[in-house]
Amino acid sequence: MTQTLTPTTAAPAPTPDFARAVLENVARVLVGKEAVTRLALAGVLAGGHVLLEDAPGTGKTMLARALAVSLGLDFQRVQFTPDLLPGDVTGVSVFRPQSGTFEFVPGPVFTGVLLADEINRATPRTQSALLEAMGEGQVTESGVTRPLPAPFVVIATQNPIENEGTYRLPEAQLDRFLLRLSVGYPTHEEEVRMLARLQTQHPIATLGAVTTPAALLDAQAQVRAVFVAPEVQAYLARLSARTRTHPSVTLGAGPRASLALQGVAQALAWLAGRSFVTPDDVQAAAPGVLAHRLSLRIEARLQGVPDHAIVTELLKAEPVPAELSAPPAR
């Protein structure tokens, strides 16, 4: 049985209280950044990690801190530099002469939200120290595997303009980030509001938690239960497949990207108060999920073709399903 299920014919329910409280709390710190905050929260709800790529001073670090505080998660920040070692992130075993044994000292990765600030300034060796933590939620040191706390989120930042003293993130690591987002500059009106609000004290100093880690885990379970019609799954799979045959792309999005696209679309549907995903959810998620997973041909890079423009082109070219299977009766 199929029926038309679109945002125009199925009125969305109000945003869940959990999400509304978090979004409003973050808005106290970041003025006019509701759209990127919603996408970043969708990434967390989908159980993934977020890469914030933008010029300095646009609020990348503040968004990470505000999300961590609002969600009631422990927060650790690591400033990535060329001399940072893998053990500085994951932890090391320290010899204790008194007992004659080695004791593991956990690194900052053992937290709820890890801010990897300017991640592309560390060497590939140190960057790779995050792969196991991001992919499997655990750290292996001296042959011992230690689980990380749940929930665990990495929010990394990088400046895409500056190349001096930086190391390009390898494709394997980029693929571990569920979303790549840009905070962007504020409008004139938003900047004036920001100046007035931050004149005497920064709101982050008084920002408090509006939910708990347990509530976040429950919300993540609800997101995974959001219905995705077979037609929508076929639609997002076709989008991923199109990236692999685009003439400007040497390496397109893999199956992990399709899973990520489905997860973020489910989170966006849940944030909109719906129990099912629409093609609009997929389209809203696609640029942040797919663009950073594309390896462009040298000709496209020399011509300055942005990866997100290719995703926009594919979204326009791929036919959108008009009718979707109804969610199963409960």
DSSP code string of 84-100: --HHHHHEEEEEETTTT
User: Which ranges in 96-227 belong to alpha helices (H)?
Assistant: 124-136, 171-174, 188-197, 213-224
**What are the tens digits of pLDDT across the range 63-117?**
999 999 999 999 999 999 999 999 999 998 898 888 888 888 999 999 999 999 9
**Spatial separation of the C-alpha atoms in residues 26 and 34, rounded to whole Å:** 8
| pLDDT of amino acid 3 | 43
Distance CA 154, CA 109 (A): 9
Residue numbers in the chain where pLDDT is lower than 50: 1-13
Residue 292 in contact with residue 174, Cβ under 8 Å?
Answer: yes
What pLDDT score was predicted for residue 2? Answer: 43
For 32, 132, 198, 315, the CA distances from 51, given in Å and listed in that order, are 20, 17, 26, 22
Q: Is the pTM of this model over 0.95?
A: no
